[in-house]
């Protein structure tokens, strides 16, 4: 049943990535605004209690997708701002679910601190006036990653979806940043959307499975 309701999202995702691979620009542009709405449909269908915060976070992701279809600094910043709101909401959601144990938080923080330090070392020379915005976003998404990994360390099997989703989100945004400021070309190709869409799917699966478990 879950797979059937997920079919629209999987089809649209496949078409979007196909459009990127075989360079059909109209297909990429036409499908991108439909991706998050299809995921919202999956999340709310047969869900006894959809989380309003998750829906708001997905709405900001939808806006972020739209703005990132544009070209130029203004569109990039608008996209970044909306995804910043997404990351803040997801971070708050995970903050409600973890146990505030310093050792767990430290263990979860180390890989993200090391990774983000290396990435920012590569990016900062090219960021210019965008540096403050990128640094704030990096802090937000790493916070989401750290709390998601903390949840996984505390819950193991129950936390695998959200931990993997957060990690893939970080990887996707890292690819965007490297494309934009380091390589200054589309070096990663379909990898950006593949990791992004998988990340969103895993995150939504986590929250939906949680709601279904509470129903039982």
CA distance 38 to 15: 13
Mean pLDDT, to the nearest integer, of 196-214? 92
Measured in residues, the chain has a length of: 216
Residue 214 has pLDDT above 80, yes or no: no
Q: pLDDT band at 211, cuts 50/70/90? A: confident
| Predicted pLDDT of residue 216 | 58
For the stretch 24-51, pLDDT in tens is: 999 999 999 999 999 999 999 988 889 9
| Predicted pLDDT of residue 103 | 94
pTM for this predicted structure: 0.94
Rounded to the nearest 10°, the torsion over CA 21, 119, 135, 40 is 40
CA distance 28 to 216: 40
CA distance 14 to 165: 18
Name the average pLDDT for the chain: 94
The closest alpha carbon to 191, from 179, 203, 209, belongs to 179
CA distance 167 to 165: 5
Domain layout of the chain by residue ranges: 2-215
| Predicted pLDDT of residue 199 | 98
Instruction: List strand residue ranges (DSSP E) for the chain, in order.
Output: none
| Predicted pLDDT of residue 85 | 98
CA distance 154 to 24: 44
| Predicted pLDDT of residue 151 | 96
For the stretch 141-187, pLDDT in tens is: 999 999 999 999 998 778 999 999 999 999 999 999 999 999 988 89
Residues contacting 156, CB < 8 A, separation 6+: none
CA distance 205 to 42: 9
- What is the token pair recorded at 49? 């209690």
Q: How much of the chain, in percent, has pLDDT values that exceed 90? A: 86
The closest alpha carbon to 200, from 60, 72, 76, 98, belongs to 60
Contact 212, 48 (CB under 8 A): yes
| Predicted pLDDT of residue 4 | 81
DSSP 24: -
For the stretch 91-133, pLDDT in tens is: 999 999 999 899 999 999 999 999 999 999 999 999 999 999 9
For the stretch 48-93, pLDDT in tens is: 889 999 999 999 999 999 999 998 889 999 999 999 999 999 999 9
């Amino acid at each position: 049943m879950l797979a059937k309701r997920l079919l629209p999202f999987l089809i649209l995702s496949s078409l979007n990535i196909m459009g990127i691979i075989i360079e059909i620009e109209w297909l990429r542009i036409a499908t991108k605004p439909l991706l998050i709405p299809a995921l919202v449909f999956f999340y709310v269908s047969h869900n006894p209690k959809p989380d309003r915060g998750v829906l708001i976070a997905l709405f900001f992701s939808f806006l972020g997708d739209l703005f990132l279809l544009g070209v130029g600094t203004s569109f990039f910043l608008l996209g970044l701002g909306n995804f910043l709101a997404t990351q803040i909401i997801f971070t708050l959601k995970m903050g409600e679910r973890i146990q505030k144990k310093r050792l767990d938080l430290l263990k979860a923080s180390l890989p993200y601190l090391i990774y983000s330090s290396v990435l920012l070392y590569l990016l900062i020379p090219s960021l210019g006036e965008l540096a403050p915005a990128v640094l704030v976003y990096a802090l937000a998404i790493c916070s989401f990653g750290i709390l998601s990994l903390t949840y996984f360390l505390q819950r193991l099997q129950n936390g695998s979806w959200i931990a993997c989703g957060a990690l893939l989100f970080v990887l996707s945004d890292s690819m965007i940043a490297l494309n934009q400021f380091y390589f200054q070309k589309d070096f990663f190709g379909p990898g950006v959307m593949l990791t992004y869409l998988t990340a969103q799917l895993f995150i939504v699966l986590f929250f939906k499975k949680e709601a279904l478990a509470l129903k039982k």
